Structure 1
């Protein structure tokens, strides 16, 4: 069973199908799509339902995990966080926050909670993350957490070449 992780201001919990409307609203913001590799624009509630339906099998495989980010005083989703891949003890971080929640330290707090739990309970030995080169907010979160810049690369996202920055840390 996927653990619930609590931090000072946040609760990281598995998504529920009842979160789909909120996910579609938050992830459906064009700003979110522009800063993520895998969230299309427009993003519908049907897409959110389908995405949430994949989480249990992903977790049970041990190869990835997805958490809803909520605040301690409310069960409403404010974003998503997880490891899009866990390979030989190294997690590849993926996250997004609803635009109204940017700049408040929620992303860094969520990352710290997730990584602390996975290091102590699951033997996580390292962390990788990428962000689009122009996404300075993600760069800040990744660097504040202590990941070191490795290199730039290019990937194709929705038919266009995008520059990404890669970061890593070993524990």
Structure 2
């Protein structure tokens, strides 16, 4: 099983890597992407429990995982965002997702987050309006593009110019 990411783009300051071989045996392999720009980091669709450990180990070879800036959830399926509680516990990342799904994400986080670490899931969510939104990562601007017709209502794709 190959674990190293495929580098899709790298100009020295901005990089995009794809992780596509993290789940073995049963389970759904969704692709995870890491976009870095000037020491800010965005993880796209971090996956579920089967993906969390291998992905976090691979990420740690490329970035300080605790300094993850954003987690982008294109939609709310378990293979996309079910590992959210672990990412909130071990990073300072804010979660970018559809405003439709923002109210459901706290259901994926355990009470121990709030009780033991004082983490409020709602305070770490950036809820995207239906029309989409641009946001900064380092010195670049990424665009959340509405794609509600592609998979489900509230689905977004990320455009990295």
Structure with bigger helix share is 1
Q: Greater relative contact order: 1 or 2 (C-alpha under 8 angstroms, separation 6 or more)?
A: 1
